[in-house]
């Protein structure tokens, strides 16, 4: 039986104003640590104190002088480590990004991780990769 697709959401919008609690019902979220987003994160943690990084909200440090695309690129390895083939069974195969469009550097990075389908969305993009084969996972 094929497992259900596993999605991870990454928010690099420094002033995210979407429905964070609704997104958390669908997938774990990684959000850029800006003053605005930290307040959102604190509210989510207060509402869901038992969630872990595998099903809840994680913040990641960003450098304010960099762009949201740089934040995504600079933190993707860590996010993949926490939700990829060495940490999750099945590993995540769907990525939803809010706060930056697809760029050549993002497309190149995600291609290295096997994401072969990238679809623009109104607030960012969605990336999909096949379930890895031939790798010993958990």
Residue 72 covered by a domain: yes
Using only C-alpha atoms, what is the Rg of the chain?
A: 14
How many domains, in total, are found in the chain?
Answer: 1
How is 77-128 classified by DSSP, letter by letter? HHHHHHHSTTT-SSPP-EEEEES----HHHHHHHHHTT--EEEE-SSEEEEE
Tell me the average pLDDT across 23-32.
Answer: 94
Residue 126 covered by a domain: no
Which range marks the domain in which residue 69 is found? 8-30+40-90+100-115
Check residues 6 and 49 and name the one with the higher pLDDT: 6
Give the global pTM.
0.92
Tell me the average pLDDT across 113-136.
Answer: 88
């Amino acid at each position: 039986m094929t497992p259900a697709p596993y999605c991870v959401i990454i928010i690099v919008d420094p002033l995210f104003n979407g429905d964070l609690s609704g997104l958390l019902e669908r997938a774990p979220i990684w959000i850029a640590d800006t003053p605005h987003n930290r307040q959102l994160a604190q509210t989510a943690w207060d509402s869901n104190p038992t969630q872990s990084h595998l099903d809840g909200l994680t913040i990641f440090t960003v450098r304010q002088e960099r762009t949201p695309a740089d934040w995504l690129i600079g933190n993707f390895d860590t996010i993949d480590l926490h939700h990829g083939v060495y940490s999750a069974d099945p590993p995540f195969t769907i990525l939803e990004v809010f706060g930056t469009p697809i760029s050549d550097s993002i497309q190149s990075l995600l291609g290295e991780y096997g994401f072969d389908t990238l679809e623009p969305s109104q607030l960012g993009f969605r990336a999909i990769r096949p379930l890895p084969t031939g790798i010993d996972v958990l």
